[in-house]
Amino acid sequence: MPDSTLHEPVLDWYDEHARDLPWRRPEASPWSVLVSELMLQQTPVVRVLPVHAAWLERWPTPAALAAEPVGEAVRAWGRLGYPRRALRLHAAAVAITERHDGLVPDDHGALLALPGVGDYTAAAVASFAFGRRHVVLDTNVRRVLGRVVGGAEHPRPSVTKAEREEAALLVPDDDATAATWAVAVMELGALVCTAAGPRCEECPVADQCAWRAAGYPAYDGPARRAQAWDGTDRQCRGRLMAVLRDADGPVRRSALDAAWGPEAQRLRCLAALVADGLLVHVAEDVYALP
């Protein structure tokens, strides 16, 4: 194991404070882990929990989902937001069924080759589902390591080579400990070393934190994008999708017109949803889920 004084306090803290989440339980399937990782992208745990449970009850295996029309995945996605993730998850289920006999692959490269699976998700599934040693860098991990090791309040907008190399030096040598380390640092960032209100008095490595030792210098990197919502195309798309999800079948455009006022924005978003494969134009002024 790399000689790091961070390991023991972080791992001990995780043993005591880890949340009981269904995708972390010993009986959780690799499919449950993959579903959770796609759902948790830009979505809080509290919103994911009920949808994840319903999804796994309906589709306990990739093959079960692959056998359904992709529109059912979009419908079941509900209000999690960013519904293209439902398309990706369905495509991944089809690929797993066709290429891997219905079993989520345990190899990072094979995971990375699945539709909608990027480097982070491949590393996370390989680590959390199969106990493999990988550098797992989500926003929470990047923030913790950036503060404790780098002395910066927030990480840069995208992962740098230096950041990845620094994180790799901290990963324990043996697979099992490395997998626990990955989720422990992530949990520390989610519960204690949060973006807006870090609770340093509860942090197991506060005495080793470079950001704290430097007097909490403010972030001085590129501007961080605010997550706007009211009046945005994202909100408009969400309203239009809700109409289709709540309908038993195809809907006329008049129902979509009633869901959002500004016509130019509504038509632009409707065309984008069709282009993204989230809606299908089945007849003149009639739309349906794919």
Instruction: Say if residues 207 and 252 touch (Cβ distance below 8 Å).
Output: no
Model confidence pLDDT, tens digit, residues 129-138: 999 999 999 9
- Residue ranges per domain, the chain? 233-288
Model confidence pLDDT, tens digit, residues 41-69: 989 999 999 999 999 999 999 999 999 99
**How far apart are the C-alpha atoms of 184 and 158, rounded to whole Å?**
22
Instruction: Say if residues 149 and 58 touch (Cβ distance below 8 Å).
Output: no
Confidence of residue 4 (pLDDT cuts 50, 70, 90): confident
The pTM score is: 0.90
Model confidence pLDDT, tens digit, residues 68-104: 999 999 999 999 989 999 999 999 999 999 999 999 9
**How far apart are the C-alpha atoms of 210 and 31, rounded to whole Å?**
38
What pLDDT shows up at residue 178?
A: 96
* C-beta neighbour count of 271 within 10 angstroms: 12
The residues annotated with a catalytic role in the active site are 37
Alpha helices in 41-158 (DSSP H): 45-58, 62-66, 70-77, 84-99, 108-112, 119-130, 139-148
Model confidence pLDDT, tens digit, residues 213-235: 999 999 887 766 666 778 899 99
Query: Can you read off the two tokens belonging to residue 129?
Result: 């589902």
What pLDDT shows up at residue 261?
A: 87
Model confidence pLDDT, tens digit, residues 247-262: 989 999 999 999 998 9
Of 228, 215, 61, give the one whose Cα is nearest residue 147: 215
**How far apart are the C-alpha atoms of 248 and 284, rounded to whole Å?**
19
What pLDDT shows up at residue 106?
A: 95
What residues pair up with 103 in beta bridges, in sequence order?
Answer: none
In which order are the strands placed within the sheet that holds 251-252?
A: 251-252, 286-288, 280-283
Q: What are the CB-based long-range contacts (under 8 Å, 24+) for 45-53?
A: 45/19, 45/21, 45/190, 47/79, 47/80, 48/80, 49/21, 49/22, 51/76, 51/77, 51/78, 51/80, 52/22, 52/23, 53/22
Q: Which residues, in sequence order, are CB contacts of 176 under 8 Å at separation 6+?
A: 131
**How far apart are the C-alpha atoms of 98 and 199, rounded to whole Å?**
47
Q: Is the pLDDT of residue 1 over 60?
A: no
Selecting from 2.30.230, 3.40.50, 1.10.3470, 1.10.10, what CATH number does the domain 233-288 have? 1.10.10
Q: Give me the mean pLDDT over the 163-191 stretch.
A: 96
Model confidence pLDDT, tens digit, residues 129-172: 999 999 999 999 999 999 999 999 999 888 999 999 999 999 99
What pLDDT shows up at residue 136?
A: 96
What pLDDT shows up at residue 224?
A: 64
Instruction: Say if residues 208 and 5 touch (Cβ distance below 8 Å).
Output: yes
Model confidence pLDDT, tens digit, residues 6-53: 999 999 999 999 999 999 999 999 999 999 999 999 899 999 999 999
